[in-house]
Amino acid sequence: MAPTDPPPFSAAALATRLPEFLTPPSLLTERLQIARQVADQSSRKDKVVAAIVVGSTAFERCSATADLDLILITPSSNHSTSFETQIVSNVRVDVERITSAEAFAKTGSDGWIWELREAARIGCGVPVYDPTGFATQLSRRALALRPRPAEVEATLRDVYSVLARIGAERNDLSWCEDALRGCLDNLSMLALLAQPRRYQKAKWVLADLLHAGQERLVDAMISAYRIESDAEASARAATAAVRTLVETVHQECGFPSHEALLRMGYAPAFAEASYVSRTLADAEDLVLVGRNTEAQYVAKFAARLAIGQLNSPTLPGATMSRFRTQGHPIQSHYRAIFRSGAEADFERILPIVLQESEERGRSIGVP
Amino acid sequence: MGEIFHALEVMNRTMNLGLSGTDMLRAEMAFKSALAKQGNPDPSLKLPDDPVTLASGYELRATIRPRPVKLSLRQLSKFAKQTAINPILSVDSKTMQRIDKAIKEEGADKQDGG
């Protein structure tokens, strides 16, 4: 393919489809009304400073059956964090109570991924009860946060080191392609951390990048992740292949099965494996709603996470070295997931990666 | 140990010391011997005193590399750009032949003691 040709499926095409997936306004209004109802009832029983709808409803990404997440902010003298669930008009409402001091702390600390995500959850929320303007104040604080410069620099140093190695390893195309995907993952994370929504999870990466105007980065990711069609069949094939890989990796590493991990929900004993499985489950959910490009990206990202588990320091050395062998079926299976008819388009992707890296550098004051 | 010999040779030339090949081999041996003593401070090991015997069980490995100066992010960006866009080129066979020839000649020089 010539460097000037567009990739087979583009970010622009994906961007035009995204509005289709937003929650319909009528459903959104209905859910916000339910949240207001719960907030009003609560404020009559206890002192409530503010009530904020967060999560998929706030991001306009919820379905009619999704849980509705509501944060009730209580005065600091009140009890600390607590959770309760109510069913209102057939909608499960998860109510989280936090004190105003906790809310203030969550939206004001110097941060990296976790802290910024927590702040964004409140900052991007929709206030449904805010008599004193406290929720608006929290939103302003959350928006003003910036990713920790030292962490941004460390991530960029990793990206640059990998890019320099790519130049020396051009004879190993498979490694170079995977390394480029790693660079793009890091750059997309940095790009998203600088945005109000921050980095939520793989499921929303492409949509959030497009929301942030990062079309060029999304194009590079579509190309590097070898997503060549928005067809449902491609998405189903990708998720099926990744499921086989994930199940094999879990089994070989002695982890619970993919389904068992999903049933376990929060599984701190198998944190990494659980994250891989939940990411794959997200990809399968995306296929069900027709978000086929995003489904392929998320499934393939799960494959990268699964292979990454083989480098886990908790795994016995013998197991690790066995899997790392190039001829091992897991490695072949992994490579097949990213195989494509065309050669890797380094000439298109590399300049984008370099430009994005420089832009991220400028965000922390590198001239 | 060849690196030490070459280092002495360079020093001999640049400082005009007028050392013969034998002098340089002697210096090389003395250097190894001194290192062997330094590396075995435990007297109970009862190392031989003879410098030739002492040095025979030792070899010195040396590498020359840039000092580990941390590049600024800007420098690193420039380096990554150069390296990624222009992959490292392999040394052409003509250059390799010239290098091989030079090594061979130097090896013969060393064996001849000059």
pLDDT in tens, A280-299: 999 999 999 999 999 999 99
pLDDT in tens, A269-281: 999 999 999 999 9
Per the CB < 8 A criterion, the answer to whether A256 and A270 are in contact is yes
CB contact under 8 A, A168 and B85: no
CA distances from A214 to A6, A210, A353, B3 (A): 16, 5, 12, 53
A223 and A323 part of one domain: yes
A157, closest residue in chain B (CA to CA): B73
A36 and A105 part of one domain: yes
pLDDT in tens, A122-156: 999 999 999 999 999 999 999 999 999 999 999 99
Domain that holds residue A265: 149-361
Q: What ipTM does the predicted assembly reach?
A: 0.77
Quote the tokens at residue A87.
């069913």
For residue A1, pLDDT over 50 is answered with no
Q: Each residue of A296-332: b (16+ CB within 10 Å) or e? A: bbbbbbbbbbbbebbeeeebeeeeeeebeeeeeebbe
CB contact under 8 A, B83 and A163: yes
Q: Which of A95-109, B10-24, B54-68, B82-96 has the lowest mean pLDDT?
A: B82-96
- pTM of the predicted structure, to 2 decimals: 0.78
A247 and A339 part of one domain: yes
Domain assignment of residue A367, yes or no: no
Q: Give the mean model confidence (pLDDT) for residues B54-74.
A: 77
A234 and A93 part of one domain: no
Q: Which of A161-170, A215-224, A347-356, B25-34 has the lowest mean pLDDT?
A: B25-34
Quote the tokens at residue A222.
């579509």
Quote the tokens at residue B11.
């020093």
Domain assignment of residue A10, yes or no: no
Q: Spell out the alpha helix ranges (H) of B15-112.
A: 21-39, 51-56, 73-85, 93-112
For residue A313, pLDDT over 70 is answered with no
A194 and A333 part of one domain: yes
Which residue of B72, B85, B89, B90 to mutate against A (max A Cβ within 10 Å)?
B85
Which residue of A155, A163, A187, A359 to mutate against B (max B Cβ within 10 Å)?
A163
pLDDT at A353: 95
The count of domains in chain A is 2
Q: Give the mean model confidence (pLDDT) for residues A27-34.
A: 97
CB contact under 8 A, A167 and B84: yes
A132 and A157 part of one domain: no
Min distance A353 CA to chain B CA atoms (Å):
10
pLDDT at A6: 45
For residue A327, pLDDT over 90 is answered with no
* B90 at A interface, C-beta within 8 A: no
CB contact under 8 A, B73 and A366: yes
pLDDT in tens, A42-52: 999 889 999 99
**Which residues does chain A have within 8 Å of residue B74's beta carbon, measured at their own beta carbons?**
361, 366-367
Q: Chain A residues with CB-CB distance to B under 8 A?
A: 153, 156-157, 159-161, 163-164, 166-168, 170, 350-351, 354, 357-358, 361, 366-367
CB contact under 8 A, B74 and A160: no
* B83 at A interface, C-beta within 8 A: yes
Nearest to B77 among A166, A168, A358 (CB): A358
pLDDT at B55: 75
Three-class SS state of A5:
coil
Top mean-pLDDT range of A74-83, A268-277, B95-104: A268-277
A136 and A208 part of one domain: no
CB contact under 8 A, B88 and A168: yes
For residue B9, pLDDT over 90 is answered with no
A78 and A164 part of one domain: no
Q: What percent of chain A has pLDDT over 90?
A: 75
A277 and A291 part of one domain: yes
Nearest to A157 among B76, B86, B88 (CB): B76
Question: What is the pLDDT of chain A when averaged over all its residues?
Answer: 90
Which residue do the tokens 């020089």 mark? Answer: B109
CA separation for the pair B58, B98 (Å, rounded): 31
CA separation for the pair A236, A285 (Å, rounded): 11
